């Protein structure tokens, strides 16, 4: 395992059999392809590309379900940027397998509701009917490694990385507080909090969808280690306490 500076990756790309791209697109597009599209196209040994995208490409579904074969319908600028980046990566599918991973909200050690509760930043936002999924860091890694190890012909595949139980934000905050043994923060009505929200937070709450990943798990031959936020939160506490290997 080694580290190569982003600006000096030409040699590594030329030798690569597998490429996993994790950088989010900006207003100017995908930062990896902006520099390395030609090098990736010319890489002689390339067999697989994985791109970590987002479920934001599905847009607002008024609380309805989407699956891997649901057509994208982004409704925000960041969703349109993500979809444009997906399309750009899909252009390599004529020469190798391309997996588009659409990730829900990522959580794990140092990136969970526990941190917000400990630092006094947690809010128990109440917006009835607004449920969303999340995906633990370890399940992202398992899914990517499983996909990477498969021998597939050229072509594009969509994989949804989303746990099995969409839940309202307030419910997750309450469970995290229970596990920590602290009182949950007071409930805050969405309408009351809206004027103080950042643009990113507003964009998150503006859309409501439930994302299924049954096809993904079947295609990869896996089940989630943490199928709901309950198992995931308990695992984070265990890891933080040293009861579980990092």
C-alpha 97/C-alpha 82 separation (Å) is: 19
CATH of range 9-240; options 1.10.10.10, 3.40.50.720, 3.40.50.300, 3.60.15.10: 3.40.50.720
pLDDT at 242: 81
What pLDDT sits at residue 225?
A: 98
Domain spans in the chain, listed from the N-terminal domain onward:
9-240
- What pLDDT does residue 8 have? 93
Contacts of 56 (CB under 8 A, 6+ apart): 74, 76, 78, 79, 82, 207
State residue 246's pLDDT score.
47
Per-residue pLDDT of the chain (246 residues; tens, 9 = 90+): 789 999 999 999 999 999 999 999 999 999 999 999 999 999 999 999 999 999 999 999 999 999 999 999 999 999 999 999 999 999 999 999 999 999 999 999 999 999 999 999 999 999 999 999 999 999 999 999 999 999 999 999 999 999 999 999 999 999 999 999 999 999 999 999 899 889 888 888 899 999 999 999 999 999 999 999 999 999 999 999 886 554
pTM here is 0.94
Q: Where are the alpha helices (DSSP H) in the chain?
A: 10-15, 31-42, 77-90, 113-118, 137-149, 169-180, 190-193, 199-206, 214-220, 229-240
């Amino acid at each position: 395992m080694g580290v190569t500076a982003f600006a000096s990756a030409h040699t590594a790309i030329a030798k690569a059999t597998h490429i996993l791209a994790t950088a989010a697109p900006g207003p100017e597009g995908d930062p990896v392809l902006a520099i390395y599209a030609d090098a990736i196209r010319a890489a002689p040994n390339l067999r697989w590309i994985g791109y970590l995208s987002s479920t934001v490409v599905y847009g607002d579904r008024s609380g309805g379900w989407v699956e891997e074969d649901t057509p994208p319908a982004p409704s925000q600028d960041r969703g349109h940027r993500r979809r444009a980046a997906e399309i750009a990566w899909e252009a390599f599918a004529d020469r190798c397998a391309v997996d588009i991973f659409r990730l829900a909200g990522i959580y794990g050690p140092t990136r969970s509701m526990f941190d917000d509760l400990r630092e006094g930043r947690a809010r128990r936002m109440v917006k009835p009917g607004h449920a969303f999924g999340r995906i633990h860091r370890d399940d992202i890694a398992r899914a990517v490694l499983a996909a990477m190890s498969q021998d597939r012909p050229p072509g594009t595949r969509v994989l949804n990385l989303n746990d099995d139980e969409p839940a309202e934000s307030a419910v997750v905050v309450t469970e995290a507080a229970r596990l920590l043994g602290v009182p949950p923060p007071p409930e805050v009505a969405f309408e009351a909090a809206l004027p103080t929200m950042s643009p990113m937070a507003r964009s998150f709450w503006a859309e409501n969808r439930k994302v299924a990943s049954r096809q993904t798990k079947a295609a990869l031959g896996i089940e989630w280690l943490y199928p709901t936020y309950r198992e995931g939160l308990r695992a984070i506490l265990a890891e933080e306490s040293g009861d579980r290997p990092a």
